[in-house]
């Protein structure tokens, strides 16, 4: 017997918002995931892409969650920043996008690893039914090297996934792919999956990119 699978879950907003007329080929709207370790330039690229699209006359919005610079801000470690809409666990992204972004517009989501699984499904629905492009920028794995639920669902649903190629290295020179959480001078092994660090409000929590070997051994290198 072939198992019967249910369609992707939707919410009340999806049921109450009429899909827009779909754009005909060869133009299709897409959900794209850009992912990389800390320092790979995700937020910088998000800001650059938003700027370029607005310069081309396309309407769109920037979304973020728990940015290091505070609520409602999308910031890059290079010092560039822009106002953004803060997404919380209770944010209904279908309602938000339907109200803020016209057909043919764009949505940029930074810190997309913090999206709930349901919210990832909402942005996928918005791409298909509201005729918008959605770009998500995310760290794939947490400090224990486990996929964030939001990142995992994006990997499963995205039309395209792009691994950022900016060089990020461990102190030893090997490729840095593990996002280590540092607490009390040691690599943390336990704790909540989400703990925003490198801010004035989280002085005891910092993050550092390590290679797999030195993350496993907890070796932070010479000071």
Would you please indicate which residues are annotated as catalytic (active-site) residues? 111
Under DSSP, the state recorded for 4 is P
Buried b (16+ CB within 10 A) or exposed e, 96-135: bbbeebeebbbbbbbbbbbbbebbbbbbbbbbbbbbbbbb
Q: Name residues whose C-beta falls within 8 Å of residue 94's C-beta, 6 or more positions apart in sequence.
A: 11, 13, 14, 17, 122, 125, 126, 130
Is residue 94 within 8 A of residue 63, CB to CB? The reply is no
Residue with tokens 């959900």: 31
Q: Residue 209 is encoded by which pair of tokens?
A: 């990119």
Radius of gyration of the chain, Cα coordinates, nearest whole angstrom? 19
Q: How far apart are CA 32 and CA 159, in angstroms?
A: 6
Buried b (16+ CB within 10 A) or exposed e, 77-91: eeeebbebbebeeeb
């Amino acid at each position: 017997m072939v198992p019967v699978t249910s369609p992707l879950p939707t919410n009340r907003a999806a049921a109450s918002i009429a899909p827009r007329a779909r754009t005909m080929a060869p133009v299709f709207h897409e959900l794209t995931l850009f992912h990389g370790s800390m320092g790979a330039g995700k937020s910088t690229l998000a800001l650059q892409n938003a700027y370029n699209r607005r310069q081309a006359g396309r309407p769109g919005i920037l979304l973020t969650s728990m940015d290091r610079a505070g609520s409602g801000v999308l910031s890059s470690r290079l010092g560039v920043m822009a106002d953004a809409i803060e997404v919380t666990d209770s944010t209904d992204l279908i309602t938000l996008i339907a109200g803020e972004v016209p057909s043919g517009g764009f949505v940029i989501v930074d810190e997309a690893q913090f999206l709930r699984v349901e919210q990832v499904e909402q942005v996928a629905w918005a791409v298909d039914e509201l005729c918008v492009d959605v770009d998500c920028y995310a760290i794939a794995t947490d400090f224990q090297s486990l996929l964030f639920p939001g990142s995992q669902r994006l990997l499963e649903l995205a039309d395209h996934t792009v691994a950022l190629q900016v060089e990020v290295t461990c102190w030893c020179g090997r490729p840095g792919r593990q996002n280590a959480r540092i607490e009390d001078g040691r690599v943390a092994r336990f704790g909540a999956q989400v703990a925003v660090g490198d801010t004035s409000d989280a002085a005891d929590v910092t993050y550092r990119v390590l290679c797999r070997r030195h993350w496993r051994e907890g070796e932070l290198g010479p000071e």
